[in-house]
Amino acid sequence: MDVIFSGIQPSGSLTLGNYLGALRNFIPFQEKAECYYCIVNQHAITVPQEAALLHERTRNLAALYIACGMDPKKATIFVQSEVPEHALLGWMMICTSYVGEMERMTQYKSKARKEEAKEGFIPLGLMTYPPLMAADILLYQTTLVPVGEDQTQHMEITRDLAERFNRKYGEVFTLPKMWAPQGGARVMSLQDPSSKMSKSDDNEWATIHMLDDTDTIVKKIKRAVTDSLGHVHYDKETQPGVSNLMSIYAALSGKSYEDIERDYEGKGYGIFKKDLTDLIVGEMAPILERYHELTGSPELDRILDEGREKAEAKAHATYTRAIHAMGLYR
Ligand code: AMP
Ligand code: TRP
């Protein structure tokens, strides 16, 4: 049976991109695999966070996981910082890493540049982000990691570090594979379809947040950039805006681009956008309702307490093997 591990940072309000590219794809695995879904708050602090906000977002993200259909009876849902083995093995993976390979990571380079411009320094945690992510994954003897395409390099370094450790100290870790959704489901900005839809976009019209209300979604889709060609047709080169909206439509309806083109032949963007809005709202409304039930409830704490216990049991077994392999015991 496969072991699945994935995580999302509680560092902002999740977007439709996070949902279609990551969160939604976590759910089906729980029927057929041993699943660990983590709220990676220790990754979030690789850039400065406000304490009260981080705390709130951690709870909210857990509620959102469950609202999306994650079933705590089938999957282990937990907060990274509550299982200390993550940081402990993280340190061992840092000591297995080389400065050169970390400096070459594309996410490091772009985030380092951004932080230096904003704060005047580069937090060291940004550089040690990948070995911590490797520790997350390796602690559970994970076989498959469902993440978006942008995590490819992090998955490669995770395998490199596992292999390096196994070669030097003996076979402790399973080598995990990345699982990316078919078609790559990369949702682009509604205002600039050449850049990814992101939690941290300054233009509020660019991003649909999972917690947006119906009215806001209606307005954002109405304002989404299209073109003057006036026909619903998939071509990323000539109609990037429309193609992005079509890819959201396809992901939510299960229809192919050909089907969508046929359905909207001779119709304008207005009708297409209206139907797309209905699809988004139809998917999000029940999630939102469940989310609001959960956030303040003691049920959420029960689920996370139980998740921590189950995660810790498995993590501790691997961690014990790793410290013995490395000679890190008395
Ligand atoms: P991040 O928002 O960068 O912390 O990403 C969390 C997860 O969501 C990762 O697995 C990403 O690959 C995925 N993701 C983030 N933004 C998008 C997007 N616009 N389209 C598809 N997947 C995304
Ligand atoms: N780096 C991932 C992201 O930004 C988050 C993450 C941390 C993660 N640890 C993980 C994803 C382990 C999968 C498995 O999306």
Residue 168 lies in a domain: yes
Residue 329 has pLDDT above 70, yes or no: yes
Same domain, 276 and 306: no
- Where does the pLDDT of residue 202 fall: very low under 50, low under 70, confident under 90, or very high at 90 and above? confident
Enter the tokens of residue 213. Answer: 């209300």
**Residues 178, 50 within the same domain:** yes
Regarding the beta carbon of 40 and ligand 2, being less than 6 Å apart is answered yes
Has 255 been annotated as catalytic? no
> Can you give the pLDDT at residue 132?
99
The region, left, alpha or beta by phi > 0 then psi within -120 to 50, assigned to residue 208 is beta
Mean pLDDT of 84-109: 98
* Shared domain check, 150 and 284: no
Full domain range(s) for residue 109 = 3-184+296-326
Q: What is the pLDDT of residue 201?
A: 86
Q: Do 80 and 13 lie in a common domain?
A: yes
Q: How far apart are CA 116 and CA 127, in angstroms?
A: 13
CATH number of the domain that residue 265 is part of? 1.10.240.10
Q: pLDDT tens for residues 244-292? A: 999 999 999 999 999 999 999 999 999 999 999 999 999 999 999 999 9
Span from the CA of 329 to the centroid of ligand 1 (angstroms): 39
Task: Report the predicted TM-score, pTM, of the whole model to 2 decimal places.
Answer: 0.93
What's phi and psi for 21, nearest 5 deg? -85, -25
Burial of 227 (0-12, 13-18, 19+ CB in 10 A): middle
Residue 209 forms part of a structural domain:
no
Assess whether 287 and 302 both reside in one domain.
Answer: no
Domain check: are 270 and 318 in the same one?
A: no
Q: CA-CA distance, 30 to 36, in Å (whole number)?
A: 9
Domain assignment present for residue 199? The answer is: no
Report d(CA 293, CA 303) in Å as an integer: 14
Q: What is the mean pLDDT of residues 198-206?
A: 90
* pLDDT value, residue 186: 85
Evaluate whether residue 200 is within a structural domain: no
Q: Does residue 315 form part of some domain?
A: yes
205 lies in a domain?
no
* Beta strands per DSSP E along the chain: 3-8, 34-39, 75-79, 144-146, 177-179
Q: Are 4 and 33 in contact (CB under 8 A)?
A: yes
State whether 136 and 30 are in the same domain: yes
Residue nearest to atom 9 of ligand 2 (CA): 133
Mean pLDDT of 114-134: 97
Q: Nearest C-alpha to atom 11 of ligand 1 is from which residue?
A: 148
CA distance linking residue 22 with residue 39, whole number of Å: 13
111 is catalytic: yes
User: Is position 206 within any domain?
Assistant: no
Pair 36, 75: CB distance under 8 Å:
yes
Name residue, tokens 């602690």: 139
For residue 154, the ligand 2 atom closest to its alpha carbon is: 1
pLDDT score of 184 more than 60: no
Which of 8, 93, 55, 15 has its CA nearest to residue 284? Answer: 15
Ligand 2 atom, smallest distance to 5 CA: 14
* Nearest ligand, CA 142: 2
Residue 170 backbone zone (phi > 0: left; psi -120 to 50: alpha; other: beta)? left
Q: Are residues 256 and 135 in the same domain?
A: no
**Which atom of ligand 2 lies at the shortest distance from residue 40's CA?**
7
Residue 160 to residue 208: CA distance in whole angstroms: 36
Quote the ligand 1 centre to 229 CA distance (angstroms).
30
Q: Residues 32, 114, 177, 196: which is the catalytic one? A: 196
Q: Do 237 and 270 fall into the same domain?
A: yes
- Which residue out of 74, 114, 199, 236 is catalytically annotated? 199
Our count of domains for the chain comes to: 2
Q: Is 168 a catalytic residue?
A: no
Query: Residues lining ligand 1, judged by CB closer than 6 Å?
Result: 8-9, 17-18, 20-22, 147-148, 150-151, 185-187, 196-197, 199
- Residue 151 CA, closest ligand 1 atom number: 12
Residues 308 and 286 in one domain: no
Give yes or no: residues 282 and 306 share one domain: no
What is the chain's mean pLDDT, rounded? 96
State the Cα–Cα distance between residues 63 and 195, nearest whole angstrom.
28
Residues 151 and 108 in one domain: yes
pLDDT at 223: 97
Collapsed DSSP state (helix, strand, coil) of residue 104: coil
Indicate which residue's Cα is closest to atom 13 of ligand 2: 6
CATH number at residue 302: 3.40.50.620
Q: Whose CA is nearest to atom 9 of ligand 1?
A: 148
Between CA 201 and CA 195 the distance in angstroms is 10
- Residue pair 14/199 in contact (Cβ under 8 Å)? The answer is yes
Ligand 2 pocket mutation pick from 133, 139, 161 by most atoms within 8 angstroms of CB: 133
Residues 6+ apart with CB under 8 A from 180: 146, 147, 148, 149, 152
* Residue 229: how many other CB atoms lie within 10 Å: 12
pLDDT higher than threshold 80 for residue 185: no
Nearest Cα residue to atom 15 of ligand 1:
18
Q: What's the whole-number mean pLDDT along residues 71-82?
A: 98
* Residue 216 CA, ligand 2 centroid: distance in Å: 29
Distance separating alpha carbons of residues 149 and 22, to the nearest angstrom: 10
pLDDT over 70 (residue 30): yes
Q: Is residue 81 part of a domain?
A: yes
